[in-house]
Amino acid sequence: MYIIYGIKNCNTMKKAFTWLDDHHVSYQFHNYKTDGLSEELLDAFLQLIDWQSLLNTRGTTWRKLNESVRAEVNNTQTAKKIMLANPSILKRPLLIDGKRALLGFSEELYSQFISQSK
């Protein structure tokens, strides 16, 4: 079973949902806005992906942060603090198959990830 993490109204998420649906891949959706982001869940992500990859420093949530706050994010602990306070700052979608994770979306990467999971 796949779990896809993100925010429902994100355009990249919509592309990922469409691809999964079109390829008849069953998945569960975890919406950060409604389902939240616990420290335990974030720690599980960080077991699979480094914080530098998970933290979206190109998005509006990051840009809206005070520059002094952004400057403090230089290790796992400070990154976790920012991510827990602002789950929208996580790159998305995040697709997990239980033991592996895929961050972002492209048809080619999804196809490879799904075929390697079987």
Percent above pLDDT 70 for the chain: 99
CATH number at residue 90: 3.40.30.10
Question: What tens digit of pLDDT does each residue of 103-116 get?
Answer: 999 999 999 999 99
H/E element, 5: strand 2-6
Question: What tens digit of pLDDT does each residue of 49-101 get?
Answer: 999 999 999 999 999 999 999 999 999 999 999 999 999 999 999 999 989 99
Domain around 8: 2-117
Our count of domains for the chain comes to 1
At residue 117, does pLDDT exceed 90? no
pLDDT score for 98: 87
Q: What share of the chain is helix, strand, coil (3-state, %, to 5)?
A: 55, 15, 30
pLDDT score for 25: 97
78 vs 117, higher pLDDT? 78
Query: So which residues are the catalytic ones?
Result: 10
Residue located via tokens 């008849």: 24
